[in-house]
Structure 1
Amino acid sequence: MGAVVELLGRRRGQMFDMQGVGLEGTILLKYKIPTRGLLGLRNAILTASHGTAILNTIFDSYGAWAGDISTRDQGSLVAFEDGTSTSYALASSQERGQMFIGPGFEVYKGQIVGIHQRPGDLSLNVCKRKAATNVRSNKEQTVVLDTPLDYSLDDCIEYIQEDELVEVTPSSIRMCKNPKFAKKNIR
């Protein structure tokens, strides 16, 4: 229960009722929380409660601004070059976080291609090709890549921050940095 209460507190939830229900130790928590705090809350609560929580929401009223809500501790991996992603570049990129794309995907400058394992955004070149050499002794190395994360529209909306956008086309769902916020520093 403590993990769920902490999670709701970080999302600006205010507890107004807590009752013990039943003999199994079930507890009913009632919170008032901003709508933007609900984005992605269902998955987070199920994870924190090991799948035992039940979440029900209903609109209460419009309220005053509750403050900023930080839903993500990690930054984004951002492509800084247009082109086609290569397995050579992705092999070194996956050491920095989890990727949303695999080899052969068309990417563009500013597209979010993964989740950085640290806070802050990091620019990557996922289109880099291996330098060609004439040395015959260099064997072709087999590159083992992790399976890319497959995010749905709901997952993308939950993931993005204020300086990011979700782009929906008939063939794909992508995330990118908002060009209006381009002056923000990206390492």
Structure 2
Amino acid sequence: MNDTATKADPPAHPLAGQVMTGAAMVVQAIADEGTTAIFGYSGGAVLPCYDAVFLYNEAQVKAGKPQLPLIVPANEQAAGFMAAGYSRSTGQVGVAMVTSGPGATNMVTPVRDCMADSIPMVVICGQVARAAIGSDAFQEAPIAAVMGAVAKHVFLVTEPEKLEGTIRAAFELARTGRPGPVVVDIP
């Protein structure tokens, strides 16, 4: 007899079947992972995710549920170290959200620190449009190559339908085995 035939299907997610933007998927997946704060510094390539955090929080307030604070420090490096401190103090995966190019490269030191100290962190990096990757466009940097040298793993999400699964995989990878930082680069 097949074991899967006797198991009940897991309950559907409350948002199952709803159409969501990629940014809304990112924020919902982060919230579903139990994260209670996001640390980040804004910029053009990641603004849709920031807008999605504000919309998520607005819906949470209306539903009488806890918000997901977005804590904005002086720069991206500080956001990375704050996410690392969050992880160290709570035992949860820290989350940092930064923009493309120099915003993402400013995360190299905190990402390397988390790798050296086995601290689970997920870094969401905005990236230039897919067509501009590798073209030396404004604020474009080869984040997969740069972060690949210092992170546990780097994902470059080029297909929107893989976004939610990639975010969930990043959290799982960050906290399992030897914990460490996982970078998700999103055009």
Q: TM-score, normalised by structure 2?
A: 0.23
Give 1 or 2 for the bigger CA radius of gyration. 1
Larger RCO (CA under 8 A, 6+ residues apart): 2
Q: TM-score, normalised by structure 1?
A: 0.23
Query: Which structure's residues are more often helix, by fraction?
Result: 2
Query: Which structure's residues are more often strand, by fraction?
Result: 1
